[in-house]
């Protein structure tokens, strides 16, 4: 969890910071304009977990370290750890062949910081736009396709308007995809890029699948990404390969031969190792301090209630990531003190609002559970409906019903108003807010004092009916208790 640090999780987090420190150093020492393509496009975590009595985390960390050494030398590698005390770990890391060594190291570092979300699951793999990283408890290296795990990632934007332009775009995509698949299988040793008529594509097989496996995987991937049409971008994320098309040129020319100065690279790596040693010392002290603090303040930690873990309200973090296009900027619909809000579209087509909360202290944790517990138990036409939450990702998320007209402040305070509220509409909004507050104060089984009523916390549905939102600062009181308090709350 983002707000609770077990000793094993601290070890993984410490190693993550080391990797990021090296990646940052490499980034600043690399003078050429480059793009390591570290956007996450797919993450899968297995359902089987390692035995809690084993020593899985140190073995996992060791495996990732060995893979890093191989990636530093070759831009890819496989390695396995088979300890007797816990599950074996087989690992594969590979950067796409158009990435330089420096960009590859940055991409691997990014994937390495994200994959521990899966631990203590004994399997997991992650796709970034420039590299792939997987670990499992069996030797999976020759797998080319997997009908249970192979997925497609399609953008939400369209590549052509309806009609003839859409047909032309579809033909262009089909032609370029077919070309890169053919070149990768027959001529490119598992890799190819291509372009034509405003469409760009990249095909990459993992070096462990062999020629036949590569061909089978990419042919399947080609059929899969065509299913994204007429969307302007699509990615096939298969067990043995990756295939992407886009209307934007996203790959590098020259690729694996982009680093011409070997001596400069060596100097960079030597410097990185020196910084790494210093960071390890600092992090060792940090981990010791965290362990000491945990021992002293063990009572301060909050366990996640089992009823919430097993509740139907609990969404998978990966589901909400995909629903919001990985929390992309175009999907952002609001920003407040409690976090950012994004519009999401669930696999069943339903639109939702996802509030993204990053906890950094005890108070944040209290607010999160307070909001979930309060709103899930109430139901009123003038209160925003809580649909669920995610509690097991790197940050906690709350899922609400989506209201298309956003918040009231857009209608009464924005300079460029798209719609002027009539007096009758204003009156009905005021009455609706009052009814919602009346319900909170005495209409439900518990009394709730919101303490932060303002126009940005009043949302409007398609008919301009008001709904009170954001109960992060709400407090629950029994019937015999007052709402008065001396603590400061709400918005100044």
> What are the beta bridge partners of residue 94?
76, 132
- Residue 276 backbone phi and psi in degrees, to 5: -60, -45
Decide: residue 295, CB within 10 A, 0-12 exposed, 13-18 middle, 19+ buried: exposed
3-state secondary structure (DSSP) of residue 489: coil
Considering all CA atoms of the chain, what is the largest pairwise distance in Å, rounded to the nearest integer? 79
Residue positions counted in the chain: 492
Phi-psi region of 339 (alpha: psi -120 to 50; beta: other; left: phi over 0): left
Both structure tokens of 220? 């399947």
Compute the distance between CA of residue 159 and CA of residue 83 in angstroms, rounded to an integer: 50
Whether 428 and 397 have beta carbons less than 8 Å apart is answered as no
Active centre residues (catalytic)? 452
Compute the distance between CA of residue 166 and CA of residue 153 in angstroms, rounded to an integer: 20
Whether 202 and 86 have beta carbons less than 8 Å apart is answered as no
Compute the distance between CA of residue 466 and CA of residue 450 in angstroms, rounded to an integer: 15
Decide: residue 446, CB within 10 A, 0-12 exposed, 13-18 middle, 19+ buried: middle
């Amino acid at each position: 969890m983002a707000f609770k640090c077990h000793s094993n999780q601290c070890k993984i987090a410490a190693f993550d910071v080391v990797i990021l420190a090296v990646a940052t150093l490499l980034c600043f020492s690399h003078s050429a304009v480059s793009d390591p393509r570290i956007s996450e496009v797919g993450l899968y975590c297995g359902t089987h977990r390692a035995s809690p009595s084993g020593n899985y985390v140190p073995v996992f960390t060791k495996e990732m370290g060995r893979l890093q050494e191989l990636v530093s030398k070759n831009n890819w590698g496989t390695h396995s750890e088979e300890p007797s005390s816990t599950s074996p770990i087989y690992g594969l890391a590979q950067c796409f062949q158009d990435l330089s060594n420096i960009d590859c190291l940055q991409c691997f570092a990014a994937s390495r910081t994200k994959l521990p979300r899966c631990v203590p699951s004994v399997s997991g793999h992650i796709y970034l736009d420039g590299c792939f990283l997987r670990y499992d408890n069996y030797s999976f290296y020759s797998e080319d396709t997997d009908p249970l795990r192979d997925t497609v990632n399609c953008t939400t934007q369209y590549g052509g308007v309806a009609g003839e332009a859409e047909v032309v775009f579809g033909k262009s995509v089909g032609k370029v995809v077919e070309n890169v698949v053919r070149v990768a299988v027959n001529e490119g040793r598992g890799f190819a890029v291509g372009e034509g008529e405003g469409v760009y594509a990249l095909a990459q097989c993992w070096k462990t699948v062999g020629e036949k496996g590569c061909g089978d995987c990419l042919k399947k991937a080609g059929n899969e990404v065509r299913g994204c049409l007429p969307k302007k971008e699509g990615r096939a994320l298969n067990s043995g390969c990756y295939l992407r098309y886009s209307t934007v040129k996203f790959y590098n020319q020259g690729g694996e031969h982009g680093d011409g100065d070997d001596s400069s690279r060596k100097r960079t790596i030597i410097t990185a190792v020196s910084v790494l040693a210093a960071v390890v010392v600092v992090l060792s002290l940090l981990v010791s301090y965290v362990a000491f603090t945990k021992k002293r303040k063990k009572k301060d930690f909050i366990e996640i209630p089992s009823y919430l873990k097993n509740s139907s309200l609990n969404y998978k973090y990966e589901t909400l990531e995909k629903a919001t296009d990985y929390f992309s900027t175009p999907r952002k619909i609001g920003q407040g003190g409690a976090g950012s809000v994004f519009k999401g579209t669930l696999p069943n087509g339903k639109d939702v609002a996802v509030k993204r909360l990053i906890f950094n202290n005890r108070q944040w944790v209290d607010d999160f559970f307070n909001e979930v517990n309060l709103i899930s138990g109430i139901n009123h036409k003038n209160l925003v409906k809580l649909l669920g939450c995610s509690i097991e990702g790197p940050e906690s998320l709350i899922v609400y019903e989506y209201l298309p007209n956003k918040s009231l402040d857009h209608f009464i305070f924005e300079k460029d108003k798209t719609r002027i509220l009539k007096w009758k509409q204003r009156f009905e909004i005021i009455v609706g807010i009052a009814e919602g507050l009346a319900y909170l104060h005495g209409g439900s089984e518990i009394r709730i004092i919101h303490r932060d009523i303002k126009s940005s916390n009043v949302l409007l549905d398609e008919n301009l009916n008001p709904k009170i939102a954001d109960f992060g600062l709400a407090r629950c009181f029994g019937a015999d208790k007052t709402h008065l308090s001396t603590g400061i709350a709400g918005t100044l």
